[in-house]
Amino acid sequence: MTLQHVGKSVPRVDAVKKATGEACFVADITLPRMLRAKVVRAGIPHGKILSIDTSAAEAMPGVKKVVTGQGCSMLFGTCLWDQPPLAVDKVRHAGEAVAVVLAETENQAEAAAKAVKAEYEKLPFVLDPVEAAAPGAPLIHEKNGSYRRVEYSVHPVPGTNIFHHYKLRKGESEKGFADADVTVEGEFEFPISSQAPIEPHGAICRFSADGSMEIWASNQAPFVLRDVLADMFTIPASKVRVHIPYLGGGFGGKSDVSIEPLVAYAASFVPGYAVKLVLTRKEVFTSALVGRGMKGRMKIGAKKDGTFTALKAEMYFADGAYGDTGWPVDTVAGHNCTGPYEFPHVTVDVYGTYTNSPIVGAYRGYGHPEGQLMSGRLIDRLARKLGMTPGEIMRKNFLSEGRQNALGQVIKKSHGDLPGCLAAVEKALDETPLPKNDDRFLYGRGIASMMKSPKMAANAASTCTVQVNADGSAFVNLSGIEMGQGVQTVFAQMAAEALQIPMEKVKSYPDVDTQFSPWEWQTVASMQTYRGGRAIQDACGQIIDIARETAAKVWNCSPSLVAYRNGECVHPNTGETLSLGRLARGFMAPDGLTIGAPLGATGWYRVPGIVEPDPETGMGNAAGSWTFGSQGCTLRVDRQTGEVKILHFASAFDVGKAVNPATARGQVTGGVVQGMGAALMEKILFTDDGVAKNVNFPAYKIPRLKDAPEKQTVVLLETPNPEGPWSAKPMAEHPIVAVAPVILNALRDATGVEFTTLPVTPDIILEALGAKEAR
Amino acid sequence: MPVLNFTVNGVPRTVHLEEGRVMLSSVLRDSLGLTGTKVGCGTGQCGSCTVVLNGRAVTSCTTPAEKCEGADVLTIEALAEGGVLHPIQQAFVDAGAIQCGFCTPGLIMRLYALLTVNPDATDDILAEEINKHLCRCTGYEAILAAARLARERMKK
Ligand code: FES
Ligand code: FES
């Protein structure tokens, strides 16, 4: 059957509401009896709390309560319970909360927050992850190693700042390097950066006298949040209700938990009142979650013909003051730092370290951009050493049918067509010849390939409920969060396809409510189209089965003989039909007698067979899907100003099936620009005193229209993939993964300089060009 | 309590202002419930809070409320009165320029201020105006396409 909805660029179902300002975000919500919260932040990176004087603040107009961490014994987490909702006896980063003022208005709360006086004994601090891991570094958590944790997954080194050491040992890399004709190696840095969704984080929490609580939050993980809060307050999860409205961008920075435990803790002191906190932009930088923060080195060995023999890598992550959101990123960075290539021997050590900086969590790409910056750059270097093109090296080593990734998983054809992606990018770039350098500009071209295989909890699943109404329309509910990526639209497309009904008849509700919405692990890892789509197929399949059973009863035949077409059951002989609407509440005869079950079903999907990596080798079936791609660009460097203009950026991903080609393109164009920001502009800087300093726009620069590439080409390949719904695969984070190595490879081509540290700003380029000329 | 008298979306309004620093964005959002105007940075950098004040696009997060006495303010809520989208809104929908949508109302209001006065704005002028806004989702390609489409449709 030809597809009616899947594969079509239908307009987004949420676009009209967003164009009119009607779409509701957390900051737009007002509840009765609502207090506004303002947080007092540490302001120093590391110190013992000597005293906190709240008396002046408490006496100020409108102030209801000032909450501090005094006496708080709660620690929250999902796999590593190391964080209190606000600082208790010491502060571990400058943005940490030490007190929360609750007042009637925001201005009152802000004024009173200024009147809170905290005294500290300053402690030595550490920001650099390599220094943090070294002996003698100031110890940030004395209890590292004794915190409650999931022992199979999180591997701390007690007595140090290393709260997670992930090691991967495939084969014997010593032997692999002995076999190599040539090696390349380098040191790299991917600094701490902000996901910078334009909507700041917010939450509203209300405790009731009956012991239940409700929270409205800008959060990608409502059920994780629910379980974390239930665990923290030791109440049943059924008494915690989480509501998620539209999110104004997430990019990982709103996943797991960030500010919600703080807001909930404060609200627990004023039951009956709602407590609302919306972060300032500055706080988004200092006190929500940030991303990346990697320093690493990598070495690759190869034969003369370009065949890889071994890879060795070490990565240190400045994961900030607390580790629960950082450790899985570290593990995934290790899994995937090889890029989409086969290496017979791999040794990787990743160290997640506590540092006195903002907390690192998920950021689009989740460890992949950090590791693949290194492999992507080194392949470019290797190519020159061997007198080959980077493309030739890639083609020799691409993961393809029967080859084994670093985890020991065997790749299938359905996992994707890397040579096809690379060819598409080369073709797009070759359409315009590379301009010749002149007095003003240097031109260069760079290319890299990528893979992404998401890290999931082994039990991660999506569920979907479908309910058919008497007019034949259907509610399709999942708990995939709409944060801009377009899940609501693809859900509706896929449900309409599965039920064979018009899209106008399908309504997928954007607001998630953990009391009523079907369970979902969380909206991360680009899994909603893929995993949610399979859950939709399951639920819709059940609906059709129920309808056919009822129709068979009506027609007194076997259900297997009843066909289903275009929203109707069809009689095997007469061609008579019964629509979904007629069967929605069972079939009712003219006298009212009704038979058959109402048309409602719950479907689910879990990527099968996922396990946590083996603690010794780091290998195992820890990844359940792959998406491959290649990217490349042509750029221009201004010799006078050091400014970089990307003239053409080309991307090709094997997405299995583009459910909505227009929104898929939007994911790519947006991801490329976000990745370009990381490559050329973005980095959180710290003062000598250890305080983050460029914590607002424009001090922290993210790309504007004029910074964006002049042209983008997006090619979506569709290799059939029986694991995906209608073949579809994850693709939303992927466009960011290879952008930095692509741009740095192109900069090398243009300038001859090997850049290895992000971001490569105009100043750095000018300095490098000057140094080259001086030589 | 200081009082502000002004016109919002064609309706005369009187708002009592809290003591201290009160910005137009919070009057619109908190006092008048016009939450279509978004606040992304509070410092005039992202453009999410853009409204039209006496015919000009301004960032309402940096516009002190008391400066708006007697002013005429238009917000995103005014554009689709009666449920029919303004051509700029429709162009954003049709060109796929909306992802999370947090930047959208501000962009639409700035283009409204521009295109109602200068329907022949060149591509460079469109780019200049869009460049005053931050969007983290789209990569801007579709936003520029929406602005061009809106310009074309508004001429008809
Ligand atoms: S919120 Fe006003 S410009 Fe950003
Ligand atoms: S659509 Fe999300 S910020 Fe522009």
Burial of A560 (0-12, 13-18, 19+ CB in 10 A): exposed
The yes-or-no verdict on residue A773 having pLDDT over 90 is no
Q: Which CATH architecture has domain B81-155?
A: Orthogonal Bundle (1.10)
Question: Do residues A750 and A769 lie in contact, with contact meaning Cβ atoms separated by under 8 Å?
Answer: no
The yes-or-no verdict on residue A585 having pLDDT over 90 is yes
* Residue A375: per-residue pLDDT: 98
Alpha helices in B48-103, H assignment, sequence order:
87-94
Burial of A601 (0-12, 13-18, 19+ CB in 10 A): buried
Of B85, B131, B138, the CB nearest to A704: B131
CATH T-level topology, domain A15-22+461-606: Aldehyde Oxidoreductase; domain 4 (3.30.365)
Domain borders along chain B are: 3-78, 81-155
Of B93, B137, B143, the CB nearest to A11: B93
Question: What is the per-residue pLDDT across A4-34, written as a single tens digit (0 to 9) for each?
Answer: 999 999 999 999 999 999 999 999 999 999 9
- R_g of chain B, CA atoms, integer Å: 15
Whether residues A705 and B76 touch (CB distance < 8 A) is answered with no
* % of chain B exceeding 70 in pLDDT: 100
* Residue A774: per-residue pLDDT: 80
Question: Do residues A48 and A119 lie in contact, with contact meaning Cβ atoms separated by under 8 Å?
Answer: no
Question: What is the per-residue pLDDT across A512-535, written as a single tens digit (0 to 9) for each?
Answer: 999 999 999 999 888 999 999 999
| Residue A631 zone, left/alpha/beta (φ > 0; ψ -120 to 50; rest) | beta
Question: Taking the domain A31-123+199-248+255-287, which CATH number applies?
Answer: 3.90.1170.50
* Residue A32: per-residue pLDDT: 97
Q: Measuring CA to CA, which residue among A657, A646, A713 is closest to residue A680?
A: A646
Ligand showing the shortest atom-to-Cα distance for residue B134: 2
Measure A665 CA to nearest chain B CA, in Å. Answer: 9
Query: Mean pLDDT, chain A, as a whole number?
Result: 97
Chain B within 8 Å of A14 (Cβ-Cβ)?
yes
The yes-or-no verdict on residue A144 having pLDDT over 90 is yes
Alpha carbons within 13 A on the beta-carbon side of A616: 1
Task: Spell out which residues line ligand 2, taking CB within 6 angstroms.
Answer: A 198, 249, 484; B 98-103, 135-138
Interfacial B residues in 24-43 facing A (CB < 8 Å): 26, 29, 33-43
Cβ neighbours of residue B98 under 8 Å, at least 6 residues apart? A12, A14, A15, A18, A19, B92, B104, B138
- In A171-247 the beta strands, taken as DSSP E runs, fall at 182-193, 202-207, 213-217, 240-244
* Residue B120: per-residue pLDDT: 97
* Residue A544: per-residue pLDDT: 98
* % of chain A exceeding 90 in pLDDT: 96
Q: Is the four-CA dihedral A248, A251, A255, A260 of positive or negative sign?
A: negative
* Residue A204: per-residue pLDDT: 98
What pTM value is reported for the model? 0.98
Cβ neighbours of residue A568 under 8 Å, at least 6 residues apart? A577, A578, A579, A580
What is the arithmetic mean of pLDDT over A276-302? 98
* Residue B13: per-residue pLDDT: 98
> Where in chain A is CATH 3.30.365.10?
15-22+461-606, 291-406+414-456+611-774
Secondary structure letter of residue A640 according to DSSP: T
> Where in chain A is CATH 3.90.1170.50?
31-123+199-248+255-287
The yes-or-no verdict on residue A437 having pLDDT over 80 is yes
Of B48, B101, B131, the CB nearest to A23: B101
Return the ligand 1 atom nearest residue B61 CA. Answer: 2
The pair of structure tokens assigned to A408 is: 């020991």
Cis peptide before A698 (omega within 30 of 0): yes
Burial of A192 (0-12, 13-18, 19+ CB in 10 A): buried
Interfacial B residues in 107-146 facing A (CB < 8 Å): 108, 127, 130-131, 133-144
Chain A residues with CB under 8 Å of B38 CB are 25, 27, 198-199, 248
Question: What is the per-residue pLDDT across A470-526, written as a single tens digit (0 to 9) for each?
Answer: 999 999 999 999 999 999 999 999 999 999 999 999 999 889 999 999 999 999 888
Phi and psi angles of residue A493, each rounded to the nearest 5 degrees, phi first: -60, -45
Does residue A431 sit in helix, strand or coil? coil
The yes-or-no verdict on residue A454 having pLDDT over 80 is no
Whether residues B100 and A246 touch (CB distance < 8 A) is answered with yes
Cis peptide before B2 (omega within 30 of 0): no
Secondary structure letter of residue A193 according to DSSP: E
CA dihedral A62, A68, A70, A75 (to 10 degrees): 140
* Residue A775: per-residue pLDDT: 72
Interfacial B residues in 78-107 facing A (CB < 8 Å): 79-80, 85, 89-90, 92-94, 96, 98-105
What is the arithmetic mean of pLDDT over A607-631? 91
Ligand 1 site, residue B59, Cβ cutoff 6 A = yes
Does residue A179 sit in helix, strand or coil? coil
Question: What is the per-residue pLDDT across A702-733, written as a single tens digit (0 to 9) for each?
Answer: 999 999 999 999 999 999 999 999 999 999 99
Question: What is the per-residue pLDDT across A414-429, written as a single tens digit (0 to 9) for each?
Answer: 999 999 999 999 999 9
* Residue A447: per-residue pLDDT: 98
Return the ligand 2 atom nearest residue B97 CA. Answer: 1
Centre of ligand 2 to C-alpha B100, Å, is 5
Distances (CA, A) of A679 to A191, A738, A740, B151: 10, 10, 5, 34
The yes-or-no verdict on residue A346 having pLDDT over 80 is yes
Question: Do residues A319 and A293 lie in contact, with contact meaning Cβ atoms separated by under 8 Å?
Answer: yes
The yes-or-no verdict on residue A380 having pLDDT over 80 is yes
Measure B75 CA to nearest chain A CA, in Å. Answer: 9
Whether residues A15 and B101 touch (CB distance < 8 A) is answered with yes
- Chain centre distance of CA A668: 15
The pair of structure tokens assigned to A597 is: 């079950």
Buried b (16+ CB within 10 A) or exposed e, A527-540: bbbbbbbbbbbbbb
Give ipTM to 2 decimals. Answer: 0.99
Homologous superfamily of domain range B3-78: Beta-grasp domain (3.10.20.30)
Cα A351–Cα A357–Cα A361 angle in degrees, nearest 5: 60
What is the arithmetic mean of pLDDT over A657-670? 98
Does residue A423 sit in helix, strand or coil? helix
Question: Do residues A463 and A536 lie in contact, with contact meaning Cβ atoms separated by under 8 Å?
Answer: no
The pair of structure tokens assigned to A399 is: 């993961």
Residue of A nearest to B134 (CA): A704
Q: pLDDT tens string for chain B (156 positions)?
A: 899 999 999 999 999 999 888 999 999 999 999 999 999 999 999 999 999 999 999 999 999 999 999 999 999 999 998 889 999 999 999 999 999 999 999 999 999 999 999 999 999 999 999 999 999 999 999 999 999 999 999 998
* Residue A525: per-residue pLDDT: 86
> Which residue of A8, A194, A198 to mutate against B (max B Cβ within 10 Å)?
A198
Chain B residues with CB under 8 Å of A24 CB are 35
Number of residues that this document lists for chain B = 156
Number of residues that this document lists for chain A = 775
The pair of structure tokens assigned to A762 is: 């105009």
Mutate to test the pocket of ligand 1, among B37, B38, B39 (most ligand atoms within 8 A of CB): B39
CATH T-level topology, domain A291-406+414-456+611-774: Aldehyde Oxidoreductase; domain 4 (3.30.365)
What is the arithmetic mean of pLDDT over A94-100? 98
Q: Is the four-CA dihedral A659, A427, A444, A387 of positive or negative sign?
A: positive
Phi and psi angles of residue A186, each rounded to the nearest 5 degrees, phi first: -170, 165
Whether residues A281 and B41 touch (CB distance < 8 A) is answered with yes
